[in-house]
Amino acid sequence: MKLIIGLGNYDEQYTNTRHNAGFAVVTAFASAHNMDWQPKDKFKADIAETTLGGEKVIVVKPRTYYNLSGDAALAVKQFYKIDNANILVVHDELALPFGTLRTRIGGSDAGNNGLKSIIATVGPDVARVRIGIANDLLERQPAADFVLGRFTADEQSKMPDIKKHALELISVFIAGDFAHTTKNV
């Protein structure tokens, strides 16, 4: 069983913001596999489930705010008894340039409060797909304002390709062949 967690803020006002890149990717993944979202209050999340290649896959969009994502992650992990080796977190990454996708297993939170919450509740040894969001606007505003800002028109036009490559990385994780990689889209 694999658990895929997309990080983002649940409220409608955050749709298409940089901080919701994780939500955008897991939403595209669920859509590509004809998965239906079900609100699950006991998990503080929306959940979609399917079976791919004989592997049960649970996709999660926490309904907590981004910085409390670990609450939902822990609830789902404990209910389904999922080992950390079978958990993938998909999130935006301020330390990477826009269009960069980087995978890793474990590591620090690098200042990402959603990851900090997941590490505090679930542990640091989960797999990650990091979606680079940094651009030159970051230098001109506080980081919190930047991540809650919307993608530029040029960035928005590139998001379908970024999502496509991120979905490939999720498929690799599900297949059990996940490794550290960096890809510039």
Q: Mind listing the pLDDT tens digit for each residue in 85-127?
A: 999 999 999 999 999 999 999 988 888 999 999 999 999 999 9
Report domain extents, the chain. 2-184
Give me the pLDDT at residue 49, please: 97
Q: Is 103 exposed, middle or buried (0-12, 13-18, 19+ CB in 10 A)?
A: buried
β-partners of residue 5 are 60, 89
**Catalytic-residue membership of 19:** yes
| Residue 32 φ then ψ, to 5° | -65, -25
pLDDT > 70 fraction of the chain, expressed in percent and rounded: 100
Which of the residues 19, 33, 165, 180 is marked catalytic? 19
Give me the pLDDT at residue 173, please: 96
CB contact at 8 A, 46 and 93: no
Rounded CA gap, 119 and 126, in Å?
8
β-partners of residue 91 are 130
| Residue 105: HSE in the Cβ half-sphere, 13 Å Cα cutoff | 11
Give me the pLDDT at residue 138, please: 83
Q: Determine the average pLDDT of the residues in 140-146.
A: 89
Q: If you search the block for the tokens 């979905």, which residue do you land on?
A: 167
pLDDT digits 0-9 by tens, 47-91? 999 999 899 999 999 999 899 999 999 999 999 999 999 999 999
Q: If you search the block for the tokens 């969001």, which residue do you land on?
A: 133
Give the end-to-end CA distance of the chain in Å, rounded to a whole number.
29
Secondary structure class of 91 (helix, strand, coil): strand
Mean pLDDT across the chain: 94
CATH 3.30.420.40 given to domain 2-184: no
Statement: the pTM of the whole predicted model exceeds 0.85: yes
The yes-or-no verdict on residue 166 having pLDDT over 90 is: yes
